[in-house]
Amino acid sequence: MRNDAAAAGGAFKAVSRTTSGPTKPTDATEAPAPAKALRPRLAASILLLDRSGRDVRVLVGRRSRQHVFMPNVHVFPGGRRDPADHRIAYARDLPEALLERLVGIYRGRLSVSAVRALALAAMRELHEETNLAVGPAWPGSVRPEGSLPFQPDLERLRYVARAVTPTGLVRRFDTHFFALFTDEVDLDLGALQDSRELEDFRWISVGDPSGVAIPDITARILAALHARLDADPLLRFDGTVPYFHVRNGRPIRDLL
């Protein structure tokens, strides 16, 4: 699946940041804007967090240079929600309070099944882009039609950010960002491997993502997550969530 959603989910300026030397900014506004404002498509991204060392680290991968949109920048795994994602069989569900919270964000326009599909999309995209599977394998030859090779475990996902791409861009996404501590789930990190979407995987410090080029929105989300981790190292499930969007041409950060 395309990883454009993870790269552009709310990017006010799709500008790369790096401390390893000068680089030409990749500005998403260079692409011709559509004649009519596009409705943002639902998408999801996942931040895998490793807290085994002094600093909490997050997994990012570099978008292939073959991408027309924002090549050669490091992003979180993720992508668009597919129509069939709500039918993916899972091992354990999102916390009920989080399901209700996501439904409330859309004021009932999305069902519980539809918002759960956001988390399932994040798990599916993570597997497609990194080969990582969060959850147990299917026993024996038992595997329902349309399911993933594993049973996604959604129970430990934290909701950490939402970002909506501004109007005027050729692609728009309403992206929800979930975080997951790697030591809380059944996860074989040794299975990590490059894909057509992402390569050159790195574990970077949440508090100091220097050394790799990342989109501006990725930097904003990491800064917000770092502040939240400082105040709440366990990332309690009921924490406030930053919502990055644009209003009247100005970047806005609200709290959900």
The structural domains of the chain, with segments of one domain joined by +, span 4-255
For residue 97, the 8-state DSSP code is H
Region 122-127 average pLDDT: 98
Domain 4-255 falls in which CATH fold?
A: Nucleoside Triphosphate Pyrophosphohydrolase (3.90.79)
Distance, CA of 102 to CA of 108 (rounded, Å) = 9
Neighbouring-strand partners of residue 41:
173
Q: How many other CB atoms are there within 10 angstroms of residue 34's CB atom?
A: 13
The whole-number pLDDT of residue 18 equals 41
pLDDT digits (tens, 9 = 90+) for 187-196: 999 999 999 9
The whole-number pLDDT of residue 35 equals 52
Average pLDDT over the chain reads: 87
Torsion of CA 253, 70, 75, 36, to 10 degrees: 40
